Amino acid sequence: MKRLPDNPAAGILLVDKPQGLTSHDVVARTRKFVGTRKVGHAGTLDPMATGLLVLGINNATRLLTWIVGLDKEYTATIRLGAATNTDDADGELGQRADVAALAAATDEAIAAEVAALTGQILQRPSSVSAIKVDGKRAYTLARGGQELVLPARPVTILDFDVLAIRRSEWVDVDVRVQCTTGTYIRALARDLGAALAVGGHLTVLRRTRIGPFGVEDAAAIDDTMRSKLRAPAVVATELFGRIELSAEQARELGNGTRIPLQAVTPTARWAAATPEDGTPSSTPIAAVDPDGRLVGLIEVVAGRAHVLANFPRDLAGASPADLPDDATVTP
């Protein structure tokens, strides 16, 4: 039985996470199927959620710094009639709203409060979020019995569309949300229920898009994953636009030389992506060699290329085709 190469391809992998798995579970399984320890992701999903995870393999993890800050899209179901202590269906139900209160939550009232939660808002994250408090994750403290009220922070809800309203003993509201990074859909469910004075929590959540990447193009978690890696140059071009280098320019840039280049204006739709830490920076450009390999992300300052992130040839130059067809992963 052959082992996978020590340095399999670098690339970006879109994965459709099933319900019940943590994002860490997905990363662990991907390591097994792709055959490398170096796997990262651009934003977690809760175990109850499904949908798109963007993973970076080997040196392509460096692209995740910019991908994680892109806008996101979700479909979800908000259940009106009671809040929970986790703002989702995994928590304990609070007091149920009475029939009269639920009847007062008319379609028109729901639409009005959804509109009020659209645009630039201040949102208080759920107490079971992954935000760190004194060095520990909020969800760890909350599940340990500590009461937390996290400070509100600004987010932008680009679109908040009601798709359907279904009434029984509950009022279930199917929605589609487009939002900036850092938005908590559970918090939207909680706040919609509170505004209608009936309580609310999330019962279904599916992430359908991160920036230009859609869940319809995502892979299942199995041994075909490695054939669906997207080359770093292709992804970086889609995000930022690209500049073609000569072989000599690529070699010099790879060696750290600030080579002379004409300024390039980014044209890609997603060129406004920012690093994970939110630090303002110039928009990168993908610098690509004659073989189509991503040499680095650069910015052009005073006629010279400054490298923001480099992608060494040993990993970024590989492709899924370089992996042997009969290779198998050994534990």
Give the active site residues: 46
Q: Which residues of 73-93 are buried (b: 16+ CB within 10 A; e: fewer)?
A: bbbbbbbbbbbbbbbbbbbee
Please count the helices (runs of H) and the strands (runs of E) in the chain. 9, 15
Contact 26, 41 (CB under 8 A): yes
Q: Give me Rg for the CA atoms of the chain.
A: 23
Nearest to 66 by CA among 244, 261, 286, 220: 286
Three-state secondary structure of 209-237: EECCEEHHHCECCCCCHHHHCECHHHHHH
CA dist 162 and 192 (Å) reads 12
CA dist 74 and 213 (Å) reads 13
Contact 39, 61 (CB under 8 A): yes
